Every structure is written in C-alpha cells, then in structure tokens.
Amino acid sequence: MGSTWQRLEAMADAGGICLSSRVHEDAQGSLLRLGIAFEDIGQHQLKNVVRAVHVYRVLLEQIPSNAGASLAIPDRPSIAVLPFQNMSDDPEQEYFADGMVDEITTALSRFPTLFVIARHWHRRRATFLQGNCA
C-alpha cells in the first residue's frame, strides 16, 4: 500500500510533479514568487486513499530559466523530515502519518539554527536547481 505522495508521483508525467491541494496551499506563495505556475487537474480518487484528493500539476515548461538562482543553500544545518510509511492495513492511518510528519516539521522549524526542507520538495530540489526537470 502506498502513501498519497507515492500515488501523486505515479500520476505525474515522466519528469513532472503533481501536488495535492494541501501541499499546493503551503507552497503556492513561494513557488509563485519564483514564477512557477500550476494547472488544476481536479479531484482524483487515489488507490487506498479514502477521500478524493484535489490535484495540481506543476507547469514545468513555464519555469523561468533563472528560477533556481534564488534558492541558495543556507549556511546552517539542514534537515528534511521524510514521509512516514503507513505499515497498517488501514488507509485512514495515512492522515495520521502525514499529520505526524507535519508536526515534526513544524517543531523543527521553530529552531532558528536549522533550515528545514519541506518533505514534498526534497526529492525534486536537486533536479529543479539543475534545470533538468523539464
């Protein structure tokens, strides 16, 4: 059984990115500042996910060539809280696992000496910065 992010990853075009509405809301301000646009592709029922998920596709072909230039790696320790895997047979536990990751990420972000990387961004960041995701 996979998690929501795995289902969204499988739904994306090769080299593409799909986001849930929850992630879209959290990332929208930062990504729009970089000139990254989204396409609303509607509600989708994902396998082993109880509720339908509203999905957005990142329009990679419209990313400005200088978008990664402002994403400098900070001069302080960095940490990424990776998604937990639901090991139970209960798909409702996905929300619990996602909530735990969010709580841990929020708690870590309160430490000014740490740079916290969003869990949904860590897998794509290096590719995005190199401009190879189109």
> Is residue 71 within 8 Å of 33, Cβ to Cβ?
no
Residue 128's Cβ-count burial label (10 Å; 0-12, 13-18, 19+) is: buried
- Answer yes or no: pTM beyond 0.75: no
Backbone angles phi, psi at 44, to 5 degrees: -135, 140
Q: Which two tokens stand for residue 22?
A: 């929850």
Q: Which pLDDT belongs to residue 79?
A: 84
Indicate the domain borders of the chain: 4-130
- Would you give per-residue pLDDT tens digits along the chain (134 residues)? 457 778 888 888 887 888 888 888 877 777 767 777 888 999 988 887 888 889 988 887 766 665 555 556 678 888 888 888 888 888 888 888 888 888 888 888 888 888 887 766 544 444 444 443 33
Q: Which pLDDT belongs to residue 43?
A: 92
